[in-house]
Structure 1
């Protein structure tokens, strides 16, 4: 029987159907499996608990709702700690020459962009977080496999096709989310650099958004999400730290410090500084001077 892996070109150039060769539910407790591989593709789905799946490349921690899709002939092993049992659903499948009238993987990929792209990007394994649809489809596959009806094959084909499309869609969504996150990181980094270079100027959020070429509202959202602070809060904190440094390390008059950090109102600067340090600028400078005197003695 000629099995082929998930990323062989034949899947997109010839006609194959997926076929399940093994499946099981199992609760693992304090278990360390030896490295092994299958000629079939394997899905290991964590129903409950935690586990570790090791490949030759890395160790992957998994918890409830996580699943790993291992390609054929990929060495791996399961490790479960004694304090955190793990209940899993495993399904092993491969692809055989098409029989019957149900659409082949090639047919499905020609109609589904996510599936076509997923099958083109070879990898040893992929780990994804389920939103429950994968688990329900896996369970339906198993339920059909357990039936003795002669017509069950068409239902299994339907469920397996649905499963592969769902996994491909989930992988595409994760890839897009990662790309968006990386892009957001870049915009936030540029924003922080702009703030550090221009904190001593009278700048507003619209000026920053123009500098990084991003809509102010979107920039505000991703900055808050990435740093935990709004842009204004970050800028204020930066300015207050610069003010502390100037008060401690220079003889610049207190009444002029605000202009060195881009705040054109002395009363407003004093208000912000006291809110930030619980001291007025004068009190802060005196406290620094007293500590220097004490240290000198």
Structure 2
């Protein structure tokens, strides 16, 4: 087996559709392991994503991260037509650029700053691809299906490359501290983690680090860490049958009562109720 081989039969794109949601349509809070992409063709919609509300208009394209708690609402006065794709970011291959094997491109990195979604305006070429893709069923033929999976992989890679290149020049010092903070959280979230611990690791004062982080991301380190832990707990709910007590401890909560209270505070439902809402696909 070649180390850097890509299995064309590996399924990344699972479902795609071109649909119109009726006036006043509402799909309540839920989550699933597949990522979703919406291209708004006509009308508008409202999404609640990770405890925040966003309005999307015609021309907007939004990608939802895996396991993000979200809902969808269409205004009562208008319909909303979209292209909708479901895909698996965790099956997306790692790409090495040049000889730099320490820093592969990973699609999941797109969500490090928001932890919920990526909003962008597609180019004419990207919009044309999505429009064509959304109107075609996934072919049963293995080779044709493999080619379409590869086309979608190329599409996502172009999006990643374009977005990564948009901030020109070297990252500011604050941005580097924020990036290092995110990486530290992602590697140590299951442990007892304090702002002072992270600041000491990065050789910076806790107050200044939190100030840089909030200026860059719009939220505090404590809030981000909590939300990251909750999203990781949702991931564990989806792929294991472990108890909520086990999951709470696995993602860094001292006890299940504190975990349940925090989960309800952020997502307006209990972990147990939420587990019952989880579906492999969506609206």
Q: TM-score, normalised by structure 1?
A: 0.45
Larger proportion of helix = 1
| Structure with bigger gyration radius | 1
